[in-house]
Structure 1
């Protein structure tokens, strides 16, 4: 069997899909990945020896604001994304029997439309729960479509379906008509399907019993065999376990203030610091030898050797820290990050900094709580319950069906 894996977003959208592709290959299937053309994603997939088809524009310049600003109104930008991704996916999917897609909604809609045009199977993937209808949480706000002030979650999700169709229905239906496909009346549910794969762990992300149709597999973790850089390895061996500070693909502005606050908070807790530059380009605030700055390193190797992980609350970083049994302090910013911050706090495996203003004092208190023996013990105990076979489980389910 040959499967096209399609994704568009940051590393948190690309790496899990690479893990799925590797798991499919291990079961004898062929896989090819459509992903953003950022050099770091090309390196990631090349390291996994996985064929890549670039689709869309590089994501990092869009997220960090270092590229040219987008042109046209919302509808024009949606049309452009749909066309770019549809053409790339349609070509790459030649000879495939299935398309498995996630990422930004117009890119996923392009993947579903390509599958429909080719007459092949399609499975939708959610890498986090907050975009799937549920009784346990409301939908996110959509551009220009505020949620009603009242109504239960199910009513809000019905409103969300109307909002998504108002935003994306016309451009998706134009693409479908151009390819001889009938129009849709509910574009969200057609793209997400009634049976999505959910790449999360049931301990970190428990589902409501009535939320049927979702296949929860556990997180999709791409095995990372890279050794830590020699300088980082030496730093870790040279003293007590440090605090890791990193915010992945979140720009975190103003970056100098964020670095100053985070490093200062760790120092007030008498901890050394591993500062990950990330897409925020964080840099040391001084030349003291208690802080080392790293770029892209193996978190699976690093997190078990640090005292705490201070991060943005992305699904991947949350799961990696949980598997390592390392306490977490989460500073949520957007989309699903508040959800993961809340779950970390509810499970007692860390703390959530959810106040309106981040200060050295407030982050110092959060890290101090995270480092308590009770949370350290709870994080270690919870690590034994987290699934690490999610990609293999999903790959087997895809091939079995």
Structure 2
């Protein structure tokens, strides 16, 4: 079968789907990976055919928009801003996607881009959504993240409240997207977005650990927890030698903030240096943050892009932003976490890390000053390391890429039967 995979965003959005593409190719399928120009080298380095789609942005423009999103506190506002950025390019994106999916048997898209569902349906191509976080999976047994739970009240009232909240969430998100894209979609003869949470696709691959994160309650069968799909840069022997020479025999705290952007990275760096003990070593992977370690900070090592598995093997504790991909990497490394949420679902993942007993949370506004005390808290309490190793053991028994391939193959094989179940208008979550 020919399967098209598409997404936009940062490496956290691209790398998991690269791993899925590799797994599909290894299973004998033909794959086309459609995304923007900055990720061509990564996709092609993985041996996956690359299809370029608009916008014609450079990496600096992606960083600009990520910085803008971080200034918005509401996830709905962030989603609307993301679509506002895409609006001038939307018709070109639709035209390009229609060419890419010509002759395809299936379209797989990040859940953040439900507009692709309309394109797939127009061409009668099965559509699969790929979710990086499980807080988008609706159920009558809990409300959406950040909605209050009516704990202690009668079960019937809690169930009705939860269901109402998910319906309200659907309306709010659908409206936010549709008010942004409606003109472009009308010009292309496409319907708007509907039921972002509950019916985003006939099959939704929830790419997190089923052993660690799947709720122990009944969920609609369209939501399948597959486990993580993780693609890594090749191991760098040069970086390995540099890190070992720096840290010696002792593992050290590591900061990695992925695609998070800072307006004044120099000031953040200076605050960290002033608060961090000069005799305590630290490794920083700046990512998109703009952090630069000055020469005077001889106890701090700056490293560039490299495999998370390689880098985190040197960590005593990992300080990160709580992105889905980075959280997965730290869990796979069996290391304790200090999560500094910046945007979107990162606060949700910080809560998950705390629930698993693997780490703690720090506030974005004060993390440079508070970091040393947080690291001491982790290093003095062995339960965090113990819980992290227990989580790692569960992950070693899962194979997210293979399970995702099985789910896609089963869905396509039995689609005619599944459509009758999934499109039942009387169904609940």
Summarize the Cα distance change of 1:245–1:64 in structure 2 as closer, same or farther, 3 Å threshold: same
* 1:81 Cα offset (Å): 4.3
CA contact (8 A) 1:248 1:278 kept: yes
* Alignment correspondent of 1:138: 144
CA contact (8 A) 1:165 1:188 kept: yes
Structure 1 position 114, deviation (Å)? 2.0
The equivalences for 1:21-100 within 5 A come to 21-38=21-38, 41-57=39-55, 58=57, 60-65=59-64, 79-100=87-108
Residues 76-121 of structure 1: CA distance to partner in whole angstroms, max 9, x if unpaired? 755434323212211111121000001543xx31x21221122111
8 A contact 2:19–2:401 mirrored in 1: yes
Query: Structure 1's 348 and 236: CA in aligned 2 closer, same or farther, altered over 3 A?
Result: farther
In structure 2, C-alpha distance between the alignment counterparts of 1:281 and 1:68, rounded to whole Å? 11
Whether 2:261 is the aligned partner of 1:251: answer yes
Distance in structure 2 (CA, Å) of the matches to 1:192 and 1:232: 46
Counterparts of 1:1-400 in structure 2 under 5 Å? 1-38=1-38, 41-57=39-55, 58=57, 60-65=59-64, 79-102=87-110, 104-105=112-113, 108-109=114-115, 111-134=116-139, 135-138=141-144, 152-169=161-178, 183=191, 186=194, 188=196, 192-207=200-215, 209-213=217-221, 214-230=223-239, 231-236=241-246, 238-262=248-272, 267=277, 271-354=280-363, 357-372=365-380, 373-386=382-395, 388-400=398-410
Match of 2:262, SS state, is coil
The CA distance in 2 between the partners of 1:316 and 1:156, in whole Å, is 27
TM-score in terms of structure 2 length: 0.79
The alignment partner of 2:210 has SS state of coil
* Contact persistence 1:261–1:359 (CA under 8 A): no
1:57-82 residue CA offsets vs partner (Å, 9 max, x unmatched): 33743453289999xx9787554343
Distance 1:164 1:314 in 2: 21
Q: Which residue of 2 aligns with 1:147?
A: none
Which deviates the most, 314-323 or 81-90?
81-90
Q: Distance in 2 between matches of 1:69 and 1:260?
A: 23
* Structure 1 unaligned spans of 5+: 142-150
Q: Tell me the CA shift for residue 13 of structure 1.
A: 0.6
Q: Give the CA deviation at 1:261.
A: 4.3
Q: Deviations over 1:202-249 (max 9, x none)?
A: 244232514323100001112543224345344356342121112100
String of CA shifts for 1:116-143, please: whole Å, max 9, x gaps. Answer: 12211111111112334344342579xx
Determine the C-alpha separation between the residues in 1 that align with 2:192 and 2:251.
Answer: 55
Cα gap change, 1:60/1:177 in structure 2, threshold over 3 Å: closer, same or farther? same
Comparing 365-374 and 12-21, the one that deviates more: 365-374
Any conservation in 2 of the 1:348–1:379 contact (CA below 8 Å)? yes
Q: Distance in 2 between matches of 1:34 and 1:14?
A: 10
Per the alignment, do residues 236 and 27 of structure 1 end up closer, same or farther by CA in structure 2, a change over 3 Å counting? farther
1:398 & 1:289 partners in 2: Cα distance? 50
Q: Secondary structure at the match of 2:37?
A: coil
Aligned counterparts of 1:130 and 1:225: Cα–Cα separation in 2: 31
What is the root-mean-square deviation of aligned Cα atoms in Å? 3.1
**Runs of 5+ consecutive residues of structure 2 not aligned to the other structure:** 70-79, 148-159, 412-429
- Cα displacement string for residues 139-195 of structure 1 (whole angstroms, at most 9, x for unaligned residues): 579xxxxxxxxx9343222112222332333666666655566x4583525871253
